[in-house]
Amino acid sequence: MKKLHRYFYTFMSTLTVKWEIYLNAPGAVLLVLLFSCFFLTGTCWSDSNPSTPSPNVTAKALQLAGTRLQLKGDLRGAVLKYRQSLGLQPNKKLENIVLFLEQRLDKSVKKVLFEGNLGDQWNELAAFGGDFKKFVRIEDNVLVVDVPEGNSWGKTGIRSVKPLLKIPEKQGKFAEKLIFSFGPKRSTDFVLAIIPANWDGNLEWRSHHIRVGLKNSSSLTLWIKGREVMRTNLTSGSLEQIGIIVRPDRLVLVTDGTDTILLQGYLPDNLPLYKDGYRISVLTHAPENGMKAKLVLKKIDLEHVPYEELAKAENDPTIWLDKTQKTVLFDGRILDKRWSKYQIGKGSNFSQHVRFVGGHLFADVPKGIGWGKVGIMSSIPLVWLDKFGKGAETRVRFNFDPDQTTGFVVALASMNASAGNEPSEPRALLYWRKNENTNTTKASFFLTPNKPWKPLWEQEFSNKMPEEVSFILTPGGIQIEAPGISKDIIPWELAAASQSFRIYVYSQPEKYKEPVKMALKQILLERKAGEPVEPPTSQKGVESLPVKVLFDGKINEWWEAAGVAGAEFSKFGHFENDQMRVDVPSKISNKARAGLLSKKPIINFNERILSTSHKLKLNIDPQKSTGFEILFHPGKHVDMWGNNFKAAMSLVRCSEGPCAGKYTLLLQNNRNPNHIWSRTINADWVEKKWDGRLTIETGNRWMAVHLSGGPSVRSSGFNIGKNSKLYMTVYSRNYKNYGPAKFALEKITSEWVMPDGMTHMDRFVYVDDEDFDADAFLDNLADELSLKNQSTLSGQTRNILEHKSTKDSTRSRRQMEIEVGREIRFRSTSSELYMTARYGAGKIEVSCSTIEGKAVRTFSGSLISDKNNKYKLIGQAKFKPSPGGDVYYKFSSNGQLVETLWQPKGKHPVFLRWTRVSKTD
C-alpha cells in the first residue's frame, strides 16, 4: 500500500503540473474524483499502520461525506468536509488532495474560513491586555470583541490553528483573496494579520508578513514586514468589508466591498515565501495604549480571483521597439513596481493626501500645506526613444478628470529625482493650475536647462482644466498637445535617439498654501518607429575620418592586463586566438573582476567634441561572455569603482531576481545612484542574434551605449567634454557578489563621427593632431575662402600666405596662425559697422569697427563647421564697455561670413547681416 501511495502521488504531481497540456478539464476532474474516492474509502488512513483503519471514526465519516459531495459536483461542500476532518485527524496525504482541489480544479470557489464560531480551525487570541473570555461574545453568529479602556493595547481576537492561505507562485494565473466581512455594529480599531505558519499568531506585530489595521474607525494602514507602505483615510460610512488580495507578482491590494482599491504595496523580492502557507490573526488593537477598541467580525472567506499581469512582455515600454507600440503605463488603480509614491515639500504626504477612488488616483491637499505636491513618479525610465529616425514619434498622454482637478504638473526628466526634490534637470515640465477667484486657468511650460526659474512660455485660458495633455517627442524637438496650445515643435537636444525619460505627475496649486486637487485617470504611451538613420557621408573626393585600432586581441602599447578584488589576471585571464578571455569562478570575492586597464587616456577630447561625437567600438564574443563593465576615470586606477569614476556601462546576465534569465544594459554617470539608466534584454536575443558589436558614443556632456541591431541607452549630464582626458578599464562583471563571470573581447577601435557632407576643410578640423597635414590645409584654405583670383586680396597663390604651426604642450592641441596680404572685410547691411576676419585651422579672429576705424568690439573662438549652416557658439566675447556674451556665426557655402548673432548677458540679442567688400569700400 505504501508503494501504491507513492505511485499515486507521483502521478498527481505530474497531473497537477501538466494536466492542461495532456487532458481536457472534464477528464482531469474525473480522474481526480476517482483517485480521491479510492483514497478516502480505502483502508489507508493511518500513517503508522496502513492496514489498520483510523481510530477516529468521526474524521473518517467526514471524509466519506466529502467524497459523496465531490461525486455530486459540490466541490465547495466537499472541501469544507475534508477540512473539518483534517481538524480532527491530521493526514498529510489528504491535505495534499485538498490543496490540489482548491487550487487546481475550481478557481471560482469561495471557501468559508470563519462564520461566527471558532470550530476546529480557530484558536482564541489574547495578548498585551487582551482577555478573550472577558471581551468576546458571539451574537447571531457574529464575533463581537469589545475592549474597554485601561487594558493596554487590548489585543483580543482569533488566530487560525493551521495555515489557511498560500501565496501564489510567480507564474500563477490566479490571485488569493481574503474577504473579511464585518457586522452591522461599527468596528473601530482592529488588525488583520497574515503570518508564516511557524510563527506565533499571538505576536502579530513581530510575526506578520502582511498587516492591515483600522484606527479610530477612519484611518486604514497597510504594513509589510513591519514597514508602513501606505495609509488612507476612509471618507464616509462604516467599513463593511475588507479584501486582502495577494497576487503572483507579490503585489498586495486592500479593497473595500465595492472592490475599490484602498491600499497597495509589494512584498519584497528578497522575502522568502513560506511553502507551508500562512496563518491568519484577527484582533482588536487600541489606537493608543489604554484606550478602548471594538471589532465586529461576521465572516472570513478565501477566494481565487483571476490575475492578469499588468505589463505583458509585448507591452513592456522598456523593450526594443519593433514598429509601433501602444500601452497603458498607469491605469488609475494600481501602482505596480514601475511607479513610486512622490511627495515634495513640508507637509505634503502621499498617505494622507492621496487615495484611489472611482478608477483614478485622487490627490486632495487641504489649505495650508505648502505647495501641496503629491503624486507619482516612475521608478525606472518608461519612455525610450528607440528607432528615432525621420518619421518617429513618441507620445505620452495624461488623462485627468477636469471637474476634480485644480492644479497639476506633468514632467519628463532624464535623471531620477532625489527624495523630496523637484524632477531633476534636464527636463520638460508642464504646470497647469486654476485660479478660483477669476475662474481662469494658466499653463506654463519649462524646458531645461532654464535658469533662473522662468517658463519658456506661459498662456492663460478662460475655460476649465484640460481633460488630456500630451508630450509628443520627434527627432530634435518636443511638442505639447492640449486644448488651446500651439502645436509648434520646440527644439530640444534631449529629443535624440536612445534617450530615456522618467515620468512625474503631481498636484500643485497656483499659490503657496492654497488647497489643490488632482484626479489622474491614466497614462498612456504610444511609440512609432522612424526610418533607419543613414550614416553620415563626406563630399565627393573627401576621405573619411581615420579609425584607430586600440586593441586587436593582444596586449599592446595602449593596455596592460589587470584585475581587482582577488581576480588576478594571471590566474583567470589569458590571450588566445586574437581574444582576451577571462573566466572568474564563483566565491573569489564580492566584486572580483579582471581584464584590461589603459596605460594612457583613451578619451582625449579638444574643441572637436563641441560639434560632433566620438565613438569607441568593441567586438565581444557573446557565446563566451556572461557579463562585462567599462569604466572611465581621469586617472589611471586599477579599481575605478572606488575612485569616483566619471562614467560606467555594463552588460550582465541576471542569474536571479525579477530579471533572471535576461541581460541588463546599464549606463551610469559617476557614483550618484540617481544617475543610472538601464533596460533589460532577452537573453535569447543577446546570445543568438547579437553579433557582439558594442558602441560607446560620447558627445559634449552626453553618452550613449549601442548594441548593434538592438537596444541602446543614452543620457545627458555627464561631466565629459572639451579637455576631458579619461583612462579606461574593460573588465569581466558578475551579476551578484561572489558570483562567476566570463568575458571574451576581440577588438577596440576609436573614431570621430564625421559631419554629414564633410568637406576637405571639415576634415582638417576633425583629424587628430598627428594626422594633421599643414601644407594640405593651406591649399584647401585658399580654395575655401576663394583666395585665388580675388582682386580684393593681394597675390593669387598660397605663397602669399605666411604660416607657422604652434603646439600648446600644456593643453595638447594644435593652433594654426594665418596672415594674409589684405584683410577680408565685411560691412553690415543694417548699421555703420565694418568687420574684419582672420581664419586659421580650428580658429577665427574677428574685430568690428566704425567707418572711422574706431574699435567697437572684438572676439575670438573655435572655428566649427556645421552641416546645416546653423549658428554655432565660437567663444566668449570681449566687449567695451558692454558686458560679455556669446557670439554665434553663420557661413555661406564658400566659407564667407554672412551673419552674426551677439547674445549679451541679460540683454536682447543683436543680429547683423554682412556683405563682403573691398577695403576701399
Cβ–Cβ < 8 Å for 722, 874: no
Cell for 141? 453568529
Check: CB of residue 330 under 8 Å from CB of residue 520.
yes
H or E segment and range at residue 395: strand 393-400
Output the pLDDT for position 140: 87
- Give the E-state strand segments of 552-658 in sequence order: 559-564, 573-576, 579-584, 593-598, 603-604, 614-620, 627-633, 647-653
State pLDDT tens for residues 721-735.
999 999 999 999 888
Can you list the positions of beta strands (E) in 217-277? Answer: 219-224, 227-233, 241-246, 251-255, 261-266
What is the CB neighbour count within 10 angstroms for residue 387?
21
Q: For 56-60, 440-444, 663-667, which range has the lowest pLDDT when averaged over its residues?
A: 56-60
Question: Could you give the 3-state DSSP secondary structure of residue 852?
Answer: coil
* Calculated CA dihedral for residues 764, 767, 770, 775, nearest 10 degrees: -10
Over residues 494-505, the mean pLDDT reads 93
What mean pLDDT is predicted for residues 664-681? 87
100, 12 Cβ separation under 8 angstroms: yes
14 pLDDT more than 80:
no
**The pLDDT of residue 822:** 31
Neighbours of 607 (CB within 10 A): 19
Q: 527 versus 8: which is more confidently predicted?
A: 527
d(CA 44, CA 283): 40
Count other Cβ atoms within 10 Å, centred on residue 279: 25
Q: Return d(Cα 827, Cα 850) in angstroms, integer.
A: 10
Residue (of 191, 209, 203, 123) closest to 161 by Cα position: 123
Write down the pLDDT at residue 370.
86
Least confident of 138-147, 195-204, 280-289: 195-204
- Reply yes or no on whether the pLDDT at 862 is more than 90: no
Instruction: Tell me the Cα Rg of the chain.
Output: 36
Mean pLDDT within 784-800: 36
Grade residue 911 by pLDDT with cuts at 50, 70 and 90: low
- Look at residue 330 in the predicted model and tell me its pLDDT: 93
Model pLDDT, residue 128: 94
Beta-carbon contacts of 155 under 8 Å, excluding residues fewer than 6 positions away, are: 125, 126, 127, 128, 129, 130, 191, 202, 204, 283, 284, 285
d(CA 168, CA 252): 12
Rounded CA-CA distance 250/267 in Å is 5
Q: What angle do CA 483, 489, 495 make, to 5 degrees?
A: 120
Matching residue, cell 535624440: 496
Write down the pLDDT at residue 837. Answer: 55
pLDDT given at position 913: 54
At 224-262, the pLDDT tens digits run 999 998 888 887 656 789 999 999 989 999 999 888 889
The DSSP string of 58-76 is HHHHHHHHHHHHHHTT-HH
Q: Taking residues 655-678, report their average pLDDT.
A: 84
Q: Report the DSSP pairing between strands 251-255 and 241-246.
A: antiparallel
Does the pLDDT of residue 678 top 60, yes or no? yes
Which position has the higher pLDDT, 871 or 551? Answer: 551
125, exposed or middle or buried, with CB in 10 Å at 0-12, 13-18, 19+?
A: buried
d(CA 488, CA 481): 9
Return mean pLDDT, the chain. 79
Render pLDDT for 429-445 as a digit per residue (tens, 0 to 9).
Answer: 999 999 888 889 999 99
Q: Dump strand ranges (E) for 673-796.
A: 676-682, 693-699, 702-707, 712-716, 725-732, 741-752
- Range with lowest mean pLDDT among 150-159, 475-484, 555-564, 830-839: 830-839
Report CA dihedral (758, 764, 765, 771) to the nearest 10 degrees: 120
* Residue 155 pLDDT level (bands cut at 50, 70, 90): very high
Grid cell of 334 as nine digits: 494600481
pLDDT band for 898, please (50, 70, 90 cuts): low
Sign, Cα dihedral of 88, 92, 97, 100? positive
Q: What angle do CA 890, 893, 895 make, to 5 degrees?
A: 65
DSSP 302: E
Gap between the Cα atoms of 223 and 260, Å rounded? 19
Of 157, 420, 478, the C-alpha closest to 296 is: 157
- CB atoms under 10 Å from CB of 89, counted, come to 18
Residue 788's pLDDT is what? Answer: 36
**pLDDT value of position 836:** 58
Nearest C-alpha neighbor of 168 from the set 179, 176, 160, 178 = 176
Predicted pLDDT of residue 523? 96
d(CA 488, CA 476): 13
Task: Cis check for the bond before 90: say yes or no (omega within 30 of 0).
Answer: no
Least confident of 16-30, 181-195, 777-791: 16-30
Distances (CA, A) of 9 to 30, 242, 667: 16, 37, 50
Helical (H) or strand (E) element with 665? strand 662-669
Work out the average pLDDT over 181-188: 86
Cα 322–chain centre separation? 20
